[in-house]
């Protein structure tokens, strides 16, 4: 990558790029003129670059040569100042074009050809369903033309597209349409001009047979803006939700952050072949169809929510990413962490009607944290662990990660917590005003917030450890309570040992610099009464209040609170409220203390958290017992093992608590995921952990067996057909709760020959008027292997809807082992599904729906060995990752990461995973994307 100096690695490895080696480019590009003669077999691209010497570049006397990047390009012509160069005048390699420089200001003309129809990597210019699309982030533009393909090169673009009019009637690019023309031989042209300088990764074009829905809005300044969503004609009826989400996002950004849409036209285009979720190209967003297309028949409530979130995310990038962009790719979280935070806030405001329904906001927050723990916390514990601002990489596409995105968002949220909403908004205003039109760094962002809040008590220098250090800090809390004086002392300890690549870089060191951790705390009596206390800190005034925001800045630090009434002999701390920092918090709660918090905590997040800890304690107790049993003993005790009766009583009470919103009950009675449960395990045994989790799930189902039917009936007045279907948070919450109750009820009656619960599930499947209920019923029914008739019916009904079939593939890929479904049968089913007519072997959505779900989301079904010690599922993994790597390295690398945690598993599985990784490493022509993942996993 040109933005950083490459440091050669071992001969058989890709070079490593280092953040500290960054140097400004010798040259900048003022303007770009591109002409595309589009043809799927051979597209010709003619480029004119207006280049000038970077004023900040090192002045060494003679002008250095201009080095442009390119990949998979056939060079036809190169000229400087319109004077064509001979082959002896320049140096051409597979990835670089080195040109002599005649003066400090000059033009470069190149003509290249490329083969879009053969571009299976889906990076650069490619063909999908006979239409042209582009994906240029991070380094795809170099697959279109020779260029300084780095994010700190911001230029103005003028683009002319030429194509056969019958085949490609729609020609789109960034910016504003300035001219159209009819050409000989049935061809036509469109010229687009983008008034805003942008880096090459934000370039986009689309050409093909597409149809459009339009809407016109007025922004806060009174300007009229045109909004367009382009899709295939058959999908026009699935765009309304995306359009309304876009309109809501535009108005929300005006209201919340003062950011106004700057272009006259804003376009979204949907494509089914896309490596990512969506791409924020300036004014021409390109989306995976799964984040655009929706109606009640094909999309679930989760789909509707995800579309709103992703549409918001990509629109918000218009300012946090496009108007202000990254200096280099190490700063990726500058735009992605900030924009994830913004889309999370948007989604919470939409769900809660701008705070009018606080519990709905809390549910969205819980969902975000649950996802963070299931993915990012696991990443932080593995060989690919990295800070939100990495210090090095071999392939940048491997760092579009949960750490950079979701943990990056939590870092931004901590800044808002520390500065308060007003101070944070003031800092954001300063950031946008100061850096509009620039490519900047994470340090620049933090400095803008600091400069906007000079009276703040935040040590921003210490806070930036969140940007430079990897891993999840572990905070241990000890509480000391003096009932005689009503004084509480919290003793806090933080540790974050080196993880991932830090282990090599910090050899001999056992810890890192302490973080500045904002920790929200409160206290309750043993009866659940909220207590008001005064916190004594050197820099803070004594304020008597229920909740306190602590700045935990040292490796060990104590905080004292006074004012507990004398009648209380004990107090219960509520720690890390609203998940105020992305940490692992450890406190020795008793079961009764957690039950009290579950019933009475005034913070919805910690109320949910108390329940999750109760579940986790019980599952880990069962897991510990199971580790001492053989499989035969587990089968014998599956029905008769004792589960904590007090916990089951609390669950039954929670399920029937009509004061709680259905969405909150649903999320509270959903057990911790496999990944979350493994966080505290030294050694992972997937089969026994699955057994322990399923044992508790069955016990909960039985404990509330007499009430599930009533609980389901209580939702009916709030759902269709009594009310019209709407994918809003309130109605989605009722549906989620109803379907969880149905799932538990079917489980409770699984031993019955004729089960009323199963009859209801079948009725719901056949009568459902929306995909949420239909898919939920199908999921419940496929817990048993006897649902082949319904699975066949579903496929027959939806075989022509690719996004719906993705759900069908995923459902079967994630089907866990059971008494009637062995891991062998699950593997065979996945292998069989690869041959299904609806499966497209080169479509990323299909690969993720089937293979990624099997590898990553079916731990007990994927991680197993036969009685003879063979691991056919890992052999299957090697074959699939290797095959996909040959045509799409980005997708293959994502699959490859599913074995990176191999060292944490029980020895037989760990050794087998290691062998699989070594076998993959030895594959000929392994891509640098996959090689980096495998090598780091094996270190």
Residues in the chain: 939
Q: How far apart are CA 855 and CA 858, in angstroms?
A: 6
| Average pLDDT across the chain, whole number | 96
Name every residue whose Cβ is closer than 8 Å to that of residue 81 and which is 6 or more positions away in sequence.
Answer: 102, 106, 107
| pLDDT confidence of residue 60 | 80
| pLDDT confidence of residue 355 | 86
| pLDDT confidence of residue 699 | 96
| pLDDT confidence of residue 537 | 72
CB atoms within 10 A of CB 892: 23
CB atoms within 10 A of CB 545: 12
* Per-domain residue ranges of the chain: 1-209, 215-318, 325-468, 474-588
Contact 863, 686 (CB under 8 A): yes
pLDDT per position as a tens digit, 41-77: 999 999 999 999 999 998 888 999 999 999 999 999 9
Q: For the domain 325-468, what is the CATH code?
A: 1.10.390.10
> Token pair for residue 894?
């994502």
Q: For the domain 215-318, what is the CATH code?
A: 3.30.2010.30
CA 590 from chain centre, in angstroms, equals 34
The answer to whether the 215-318 and 325-468 domains have the same CATH topology is no
The CATH class of the 474-588 domain is: mainly beta
| pLDDT confidence of residue 543 | 85
Name every residue whose Cβ is closer than 8 Å to that of residue 589 and which is 6 or more positions away in sequence.
Answer: 572, 597, 610, 613
Residue 430's H or E segment, with its range, is: helix 408-435
Contact 120, 883 (CB under 8 A): no
> Which residues partner with 74 through β-bridges?
113
Name every residue whose Cβ is closer than 8 Å to that of residue 809 and which is 6 or more positions away in sequence.
Answer: 833, 836, 838, 839, 846, 849, 850, 853
| pLDDT confidence of residue 4 | 38
Q: Tell me the average pLDDT across 349-372.
A: 96
Q: How far apart are CA 215 and CA 510, in angstroms?
A: 58
Q: pLDDT-derived band of residue 541, with 50, 70 and 90 as boundaries?
A: low
Q: What is the 3-state secondary structure (H, E, C) of 534-593?
A: EEEECCECCCEECCEEEEECCCEEEEEEECCCCCCCCEEEEECHHHCCCCEEECCCCHHH
Pairing of strands 584-586, 474-482: parallel
CA 190 from chain centre, in angstroms, equals 36
The CATH class of the 1-209 domain is: mainly beta
Q: pLDDT-derived band of residue 13, with 50, 70 and 90 as boundaries?
A: low
Of 685, 845, 896, 676, whose CA–CA distance to 292 is shortest?
845
Q: How far apart are CA 236 and CA 231, in angstroms?
A: 7
pLDDT per position as a tens digit, 208-264: 999 999 999 999 999 999 999 999 999 999 999 999 999 999 999 999 999 999 999
| pLDDT confidence of residue 683 | 97
pLDDT per position as a tens digit, 379-414: 999 999 999 999 999 999 999 999 999 999 999 999
pLDDT above 90 covers a percentage of the chain that reads: 92
| pLDDT confidence of residue 632 | 79
The Cα-based distances of 891 to 129, 619, 642, 853, 882 in angstroms read 19, 34, 44, 13, 11
CB atoms within 10 A of CB 578: 17
**Strands across the sheet with 16-22, in order?**
4-7, 16-22, 392-393
- Return the exposure string of 843-859: e unless at least 16 CB atoms fall within 10 Å of the residue's CB, then b: bbbbbbbbbbbbbbbbb
Of 645, 625, 643, whose CA–CA distance to 634 is shortest?
625
Q: How far apart are CA 831 and CA 688, in angstroms?
A: 25
Of 461, 460, 341, 442, whose CA–CA distance to 391 is shortest?
442
Q: How far apart are CA 368 and CA 861, in angstroms?
A: 26
Task: Give me the DSSP letters along 501-547.
Answer: THHHHTTT----PPP-EEEEEEEEETT--EE-EEEEBTTB---EES-
Between helices 928-938 and 889-896, what is the axis angle to 10°?
20
| pLDDT confidence of residue 59 | 83
DSSP state of 271: E
Asked whether the CA dihedral 694, 696, 697, 701 is positive or negative, the reply is: positive
pTM of the model: 0.97
> Residue 165 class from Cβ within 10 Å (0-12 exposed, 13-18 middle, 19+ buried)?
middle
DSSP state of 849: I
Q: pLDDT-derived band of residue 11, with 50, 70 and 90 as boundaries?
A: very low
Helices (H), 755-848: 756-767, 771-781, 788-798, 802-813, 823-833, 844-847
Q: How far apart are CA 219 and CA 266, in angstroms?
A: 13
Pairing of strands 27-37, 156-164: parallel
| pLDDT confidence of residue 6 | 41
The torsion region of residue 420 among left (phi > 0), alpha (psi -120 to 50) and beta comes to: left
- Indicate if the pLDDT at residue 896 is higher than 90: yes
Q: How far apart are CA 599 and CA 430, in angstroms?
A: 43
pLDDT per position as a tens digit, 420-451: 999 999 999 999 999 999 999 999 999 999 99
- Return the exposure string of 799-822: e unless at least 16 CB atoms fall within 10 Å of the residue's CB, then b: eebbbbbbbbbbbbbbbbbbeebe
Which one is catalytic: 232, 314, 336, 406?
A: 314
pLDDT per position as a tens digit, 611-664: 999 999 999 999 999 999 888 778 766 656 899 999 999 999 999 999 999 999
| pLDDT confidence of residue 538 | 46
Strands (E), 54-175: 66-69, 74-80, 83-84, 91-92, 96-99, 105-114, 124-128, 131-135, 156-164, 170-173
Pairing of strands 556-562, 156-164: unpaired
- Indicate if the pLDDT at residue 508 is higher than 80: no
Q: pLDDT-derived band of residue 785, with 50, 70 and 90 as boundaries?
A: low
Q: pLDDT-derived band of residue 494, with 50, 70 and 90 as boundaries?
A: very high
Task: Give me the DSSP letters along 378-428.
Answer: HHHTSTT---SS-SEES-GGGG-SHIIIIIHHHHHHHHHHHHHHHHHHHHH
- Indicate if the pLDDT at residue 7 is higher than 90: no
Pairing of strands 265-271, 224-231: parallel
User: Does 314 participate in catalysis according to the annotation?
Assistant: yes
> Which residue reads 């190490």 in tokens?
330
The vertex-671 CA angle with 670 and 675, nearest 5°, equals: 125
| pLDDT confidence of residue 597 | 99
Q: How far apart are CA 404 and CA 409, in angstroms?
A: 8
């Amino acid at each position: 990558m040109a933005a950083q100096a490459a440091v050669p690695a071992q001969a058989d490895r890709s070079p490593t790029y280092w953040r500290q080696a960054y140097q400004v480019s010798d040259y900048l590009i003022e303007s770009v003129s591109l002409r595309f003669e589009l043809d799927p077999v051979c597209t010709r691209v003619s480029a004119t670059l207006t280049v000038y010497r970077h004023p900040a570049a090192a002045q060494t006397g003679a002008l250095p040569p201009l080095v442009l990047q390119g990949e998979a390009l056939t060079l036809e012509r190169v000229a400087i100042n319109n004077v064509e160069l001979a082959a002896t005048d320049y140096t051409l390699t597979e990835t670089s074009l080195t040109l002599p420089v005649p003066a400090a200001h000059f033009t470069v003309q190149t003509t290249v050809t490329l083969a879009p129809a053969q571009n299976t990597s889906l990076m650069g210019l490619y063909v999908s369903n006979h239409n042209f699309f582009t994906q240029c982030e991070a380094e795809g533009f170099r697959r279109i033309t020779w260029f300084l393909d780095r994010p700190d090169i911001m230029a103005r673009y003028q683009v002319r597209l030429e194509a056969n009019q019958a085949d490609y009637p729609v020609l789109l690019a960034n910016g504003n349409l300035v001219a159209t023309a009819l050409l000989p031989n049935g061809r036509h042209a469109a010229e687009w001009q983008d008034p805003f300088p942008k880096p090459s990764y934000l370039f986009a074009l689309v050409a093909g047979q597409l149809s459009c829905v339009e809407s016109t809005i007025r922004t806060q300044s009174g300007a009229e803006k045109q909004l367009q969503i382009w899709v295939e004609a058959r999908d026009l009826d699935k765009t309304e939700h995306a359009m309304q989400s876009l309109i809501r996002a535009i108005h929300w950004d005006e209201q919340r952050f003062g950011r106004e849409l700057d272009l006259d036209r804003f376009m979204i285009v949907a494509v089914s072949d896309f490596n990512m979720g969506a791409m924020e190209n300036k004014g021409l967003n390109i989306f995976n169809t799964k984040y655009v297309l929706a109606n009640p028949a094909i999309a679930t409530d989760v789909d509707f929510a995800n579309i709103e979130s992703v549409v918001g995310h990509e629109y918000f990038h218009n300012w946090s990413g496009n108007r202000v962009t990254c200096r280099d790719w190490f700063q990726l979280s500058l735009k992605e962490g900030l924009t994830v935070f913004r889309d999370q806030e948007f989604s919470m405001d939409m769900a809660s009607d701008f705070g009018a329904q606080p519990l709905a906001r809390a549910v969205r927050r819980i969902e975000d944290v649950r996802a963070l723990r299931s993915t990012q916390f696991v990443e932080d514990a593995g060989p690919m662990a990295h800070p939100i601002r990495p210090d090095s990489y071999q392939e940048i596409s491997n760092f579009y990660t949960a750490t950079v995105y979701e943990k990056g968002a939590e870092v931004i949220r901590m800044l808002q917590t520390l500065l308060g909403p007003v101070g944070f908004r003031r800092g954001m205003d300063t950031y946008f005003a100061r850096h509009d039109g620039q490519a900047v760094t994470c340090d620049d962002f933090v400095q803008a917030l600091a400069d906007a809040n000079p009276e703040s008590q935040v040590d921003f220098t210490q806070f930036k450890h969140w940007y430079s250090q990897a891993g999840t800090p572990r905070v241990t809390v000890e509480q000391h309570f003096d009932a005689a004086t009503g004084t509480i002392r919290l003793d806090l300890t933080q540790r974050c040992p080196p993880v991932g690549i830090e282990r090599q870089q910090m050899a001999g060191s056992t810890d890192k610099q302490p973080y500045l951790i904002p920790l929200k705390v409160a206290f309750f009596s043993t009866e659940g009464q909220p207590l008001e206390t005064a916190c004594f800190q050197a820099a803070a005034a004594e304020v008597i209040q229920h909740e306190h925001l602590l700045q935990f800045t040292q490796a060990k630090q104590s905080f004292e609170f006074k004012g507990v009434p004398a009648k209380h002999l004990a107090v219960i701390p509520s720690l890390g409220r609203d998940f105020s920092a992305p940490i692992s918090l450890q406190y020795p709660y008793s079961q009764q203390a957690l039950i009290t918090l579950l019933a009475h905590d005034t913070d919805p997040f910690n109320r949910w958290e108390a329940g999750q800890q109760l579940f986790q304690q019980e599952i880990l107790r069962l897991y510990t017992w199971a580790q001492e049993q053989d499989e035969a003993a587990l089968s014998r005790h599956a029905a008769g093992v004792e589960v904590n009766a007090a916990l089951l009583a609390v669950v039954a009470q929670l399920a029937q608590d009509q004061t709680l919103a259905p969405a909150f009950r649903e999320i509270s009675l959903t057990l911790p995921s496999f990944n979350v449960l493994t966080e505290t395990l030294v050694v992972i045994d997937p089969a026994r952990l699955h057994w322990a989790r399923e044992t508790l799930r069955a016990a909960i189902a039985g404990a509330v067996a007499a009430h599930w039917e009533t609980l389901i009936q209580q939702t009916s007045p709030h759902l269709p057909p009594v009310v019209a279907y709407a994918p809003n948070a309130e109605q989605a919450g009722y549906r989620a709760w109803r379907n969880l109750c149905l799932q538990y009820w079917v489980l409770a009656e699984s031993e019955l020959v004729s089960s009323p619960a199963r009859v209801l599930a079948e009725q719901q499947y056949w009568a459902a008027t929306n995909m949420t209920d239909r898919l939920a019923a199908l999921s419940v029914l496929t817990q048993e292997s006897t649902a082949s008739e319904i699975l066949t019916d579903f496929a027959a009904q939806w075989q022509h809807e690719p996004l719906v079939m993705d759900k069908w593939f995923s459902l079967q890929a994630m089907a866990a082992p059971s008494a009637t479904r062995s891991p062998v049968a699950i593997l065979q089913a996945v292998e069989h599904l690869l041959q299904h007519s609806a499966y497209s072997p080169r479509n990323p959505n299909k690969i993720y729906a089937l293979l990624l779900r099997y590898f990553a989301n079916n731990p007990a079904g994927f991680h197993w060995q036969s009685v003879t010690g063979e691991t056919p599922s890992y052999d299957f993994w090697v074959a699939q990752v290797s095959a996909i790597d040959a045509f799409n390295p980005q997708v293959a690398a994502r699959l490859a990461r599913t074995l990176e945690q191999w060292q944490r598993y029980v020895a037989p599985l760990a050794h087998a995973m290691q062998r699989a990784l070594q076998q993959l490493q030895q594959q000929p022509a392994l891509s640098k994307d996959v090689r980096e993942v495998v090598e780091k996993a094996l270190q």
